[in-house]
């Protein structure tokens, strides 16, 4: 039984912190929603810790002390303080915390009756950015990364009756963080996704993959992994609609690998077919809904189920602009993905970090293909010796969570990073790591460093040749002037790969009128012209296989400081911060409907 536990053998906050920096949350079981869980969402009591002193021995908020006599006092209190909703960011819940970037301590109590021969895990969908987790006075450890799941085992510490979870959530930006200090979105902090207790028997399913064989669409292949090395343990795989009812025996490592001939109806955007799947082992049952498809490239084509497809996409941030808050629920996902569907999309790029599972699963049901990305963003310090470990762990956590979601067709390892020896080596290794973990999807990164020579544009970043497709962010007409008439611009395909224009656009304030030849007015007319010109250029790129305008809706970004037109918002949305459709929206919808 593997545990990550740090004991308080040494007193002193600086030493304690150095110990805790080494702790990481355990890799989370995938598909928590298909397991036997107890939901811990709701109101959690909080202590706001702006100077981040609560880990120090003299303050020790994790101990949840109470005064013991007339001369005793404690300089914090969960009981007398505010409560915050979980899941949810703390910035949008209290007005005085709008721009808060430090620690908030959360406390939740729950009643529990331990079951003999059962195990109990505490699972977090995400906490931004650092999470230190304590349970019944025990320090379980730390997780770093604001957008991927983690868990800790509680079996040895849970008691009959009341139990206490305390979490320190710290969203302070870090030079050695992922992302780093400078990023162009709002830094929502807190316990931003669902929290669950997972109950399992002593032997349980920790991991599994069920998918279509990449080379033979008649074969459903995969693996099922138990939590321990238990040979000859029977595992049942059932897909009733395909008349699959397999009884399989584990090998010496507690794993089974299988391949079974079947004839599933393939998942497509037009017909997003999913099949109910059951995995049963030693009293443990996991339920899932899985679709089957293949995705590959051939020359400059992207092939879905062997047929060429054009990715009609849009970039999305995990934010509900009308609420000025982090999106976290299925209802939130329905709003954002509904907007994308109305635009005519068959594809969404979830920028610039893994979004919540509700979004991934709902997109799968709606027939929306997905690009998922880790926040290896501008300003990452690739020379930091710890960066390789952090980026690879974040990549693994993202891929482990969503490897059974057939609509995820692209893993992205970075966005807009500057070439250097350290950066090049890091991205190449990340791409190789992704392929070693999953060869059934496409690997890319978004680049913004193409070369302009006259009216021609070429790919020069040598890292591109290590990707399955080339993805380029370009803002012609906004950050860079057109090198020629848009219809005359020529793209040269240096690496003979499919091209996705992964970002383009410009900023406009909804209903702001101006001339189409001046950006200084921040007008819809000017950005409408950008989009019209972009599409003229697209029609002259024979190897273009997808487009993703930046971005679906205006989003909060404190670095956007124009006092009239921005006011803390990035205004590149096709929709306003109130969901109103700008003129550029209609240009893209016409293009995606082939009406342009």
pLDDT digit string (tens) for 464-516? Answer: 999 999 999 999 999 999 999 999 999 999 899 999 999 999 999 999 988 77
- Do 209 and 403 contact (CB within 8 A), yes or no? yes
Predicted confidence (pLDDT) per residue in 163-186, tens digit: 999 999 999 999 999 999 989 999
φ/ψ of 249, rounded to 5, equals -115, 135
pLDDT for position 520: 74
User: The tokens 């497809």 sit on which residue?
Assistant: 309
Distance CA 196, CA 448 (A): 40
Sign of the Cα torsion 416, 420, 422, 424 reads positive
pLDDT for position 552: 98
Can you tell me whether residue 273 is helix, strand or coil? Answer: coil
Mean pLDDT of 537-551: 97
Mean pLDDT of the chain: 93
Instruction: Please name which of 105, 119, 87, 116 lies closest in space to residue 165, comparing C-alpha atoms.
Output: 105
pLDDT for position 516: 76
- Do 69 and 47 contact (CB within 8 A), yes or no? no
pLDDT for position 133: 98
CATH number attached to the domain at 205-292 = 2.60.40.10
Distance CA 356, CA 346 (A): 19
Instruction: Please name which of 553, 547, 551 lies closest in space to residue 505, comparing C-alpha atoms.
Output: 551
Distance CA 506, CA 584 (A): 10
Beta bridge partner(s), residue 544: 499
Distance CA 152, CA 122 (A): 5
Computed on alpha carbons and rounded to an integer, the radius of gyration of the chain in Å comes to 25
Distance CA 242, CA 80 (A): 56
Is pTM, for the whole model, over 0.95?
no
Beta bridge partner(s), residue 457: 452, 491
Q: Is the pLDDT of residue 287 over 80?
A: yes
Predicted confidence (pLDDT) per residue in 365-408, tens digit: 999 999 999 999 998 999 999 999 999 999 999 999 999 999 99
Domain ranges of the chain: 13-201, 205-292, 313-592
Give, rounded to a whole angstrom, the gap between the first and last alpha carbons of the chain. Answer: 60
In sequence order, which residues have a C-beta less than 8 Å from that of residue 362 and are 6 or more positions away?
330, 333, 334, 337
Q: How are the residues of the chain apportioned to helix, strand and coil, as percentages rounded to the nearest 5? A: 20, 30, 50
Question: What count of residues does the chain have?
Answer: 596
Token representation of residue 143: 């997780």
The third-level CATH classification (topology) of the domain covering 313-592 is TIM Barrel (3.20.20)
φ/ψ of 400, rounded to 5, equals -60, -40
CA dist 250 → 7, 86, 209, 223, 284 (Å): 36, 39, 15, 10, 15
pLDDT for position 518: 75
CA dist 222 → 93, 257, 278 (Å): 43, 6, 14
Sign of the Cα torsion 95, 98, 100, 103 reads positive
φ/ψ of 58, rounded to 5, equals -75, -25
- Superfamily of domain 13-201 in CATH is Galactose-binding domain-like (2.60.120.260)
CA angle 163, 169, 172 (to 5 degrees): 170
- Do 224 and 281 contact (CB within 8 A), yes or no? yes
Look at phi and psi of residue 255 and say left if phi exceeds 0, alpha if psi is from -120 to 50, else beta.
beta
Beta bridge partner(s), residue 57: none
Q: Which three-class secondary structure string do you get for 153-189? A: ECCCCCCCEEEEEEEEEECCCCCCCCCCCCCCCCCCC
Kindly report which listed range (67-71, 186-190, 313-317, 378-382) carries the lowest average pLDDT score. 67-71
Distance CA 105, CA 123 (A): 17
Distance CA 342, CA 337 (A): 9
pLDDT for position 24: 59
- pLDDT bin (cut points 50, 70, 90) of residue 58 is confident
φ/ψ of 335, rounded to 5, equals -65, -55
Can you tell me whether residue 246 is helix, strand or coil? Answer: strand
């Amino acid at each position: 039984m593997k545990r990550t536990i740090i004991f308080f053998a040494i007193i002193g906050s600086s030493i304690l912190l150095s110990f805790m920096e080494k702790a990481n949350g355990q890799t989370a079981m995938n598909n928590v929603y298909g397991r036997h869980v107890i939901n811990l969402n709701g109101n959690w009591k909080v202590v706001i810790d702006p100077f981040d002193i609560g880990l120090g021995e003299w303050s020790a908020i994790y101990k949840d002390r109470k005064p013991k006599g007339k001369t005793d006092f404690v300089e914090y209190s969960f009981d007398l303080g505010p409560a915050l909703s979980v899941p949810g960011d703390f910035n949008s819940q209290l007005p005085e915390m709008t721009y808060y970037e430090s620690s908030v301590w959360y406390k939740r109590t729950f009643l529990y009756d331990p079951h003999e021969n059962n195990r109990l895990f505490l699972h977090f969908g995400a906490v931004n950015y650092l999470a230190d987790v304590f349970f019944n006075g025990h320090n379980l450890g730390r997780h770093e990364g604001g957008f991927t799941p983690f868990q800790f085992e509680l079996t040895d510490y849970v008691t009959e009756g009341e139990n206490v979870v305390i979490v320190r959530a710290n969203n302070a930006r870090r030079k050695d963080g992922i992302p780093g200090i400078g990023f162009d979105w709002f830094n929502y902090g807190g316990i931003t996704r669902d929290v669950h207790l997972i109950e399992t028997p002593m032997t349980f399913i920790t991991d599994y993959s069920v998918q279509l064989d990449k080379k033979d669409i008649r074969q459903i292949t995969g693996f099922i992994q138990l939590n321990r090395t238990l040979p000859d343990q029977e595992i049942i795989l059932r897909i009733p609609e395909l008349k699959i009812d397999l009884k399989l025996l584990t090998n010496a490592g507690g794993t089974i690998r299988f391949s079974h001939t079947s004839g599933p109806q393939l998942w497509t955007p037009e017909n997003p077919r999913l099949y109910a799947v059951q995995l049963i082992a030693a009293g443990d049952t996991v339920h899932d809904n899985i679709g089957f498809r293949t995705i590959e490239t051939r020359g400059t084509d992207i092939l879905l189920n062997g047929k060429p497809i054009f990715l009609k996409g849009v970039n999305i941030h995990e934010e509900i602009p009308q609420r000025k808050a982090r999106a976290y629920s299925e209802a939130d996902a329905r709003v954002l993905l509904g907007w994308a569907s109305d635009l005519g999309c068959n594809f969404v790029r979830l920028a610039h970090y893994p979004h919540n599972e509700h979004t991934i699963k709902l997109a799968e049901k709606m027939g929306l293909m997905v690009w998922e990305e880790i926040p290896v963003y501008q300003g990452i310090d690739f020379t930091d010796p710890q960066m390789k470990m952090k980026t690879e762990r974040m990549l693994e956590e993202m891929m482990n969570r969503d490897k059974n979601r057939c609509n995820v067709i692209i893993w992205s390892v970075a966005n807009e990073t500057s070439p250097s020896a350290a950066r090049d080596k890091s991205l190449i290794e990340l791409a190789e790591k992704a392929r070693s973990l999953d060869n059934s999807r496409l690997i890319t990164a978004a680049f913004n460093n193409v070369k302009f020579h006259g009216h021609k544009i070429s790919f020069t970043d040598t890292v591109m040749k290590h990707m399955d497709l080339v993805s380029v962010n370009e803002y012609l007409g906004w950050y860079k002037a057109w090198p020629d008439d848009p219809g005359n611009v020529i793209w040269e395909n240096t690496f003979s790969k499919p091209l996705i224009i992964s970002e383009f656009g410009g900023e406009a304030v909804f209903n702001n009128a101006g001339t189409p030849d001046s950006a200084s007015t921040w007008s819809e007319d000017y950005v409408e012209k950008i989009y019209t010109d972009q599409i003229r250029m697209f029609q002259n790129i024979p190897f273009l296989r997808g487009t993703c305008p930046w971005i679906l809706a205006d989003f909060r970004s404190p670095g956007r400081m124009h006092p009239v037109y921005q006011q803390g918002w990035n205004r590149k949305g096709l929709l306003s911060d109130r969901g109103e459709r700008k003129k550029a929206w209609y240009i893209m919808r016409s293009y995606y409907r082939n009406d342009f």
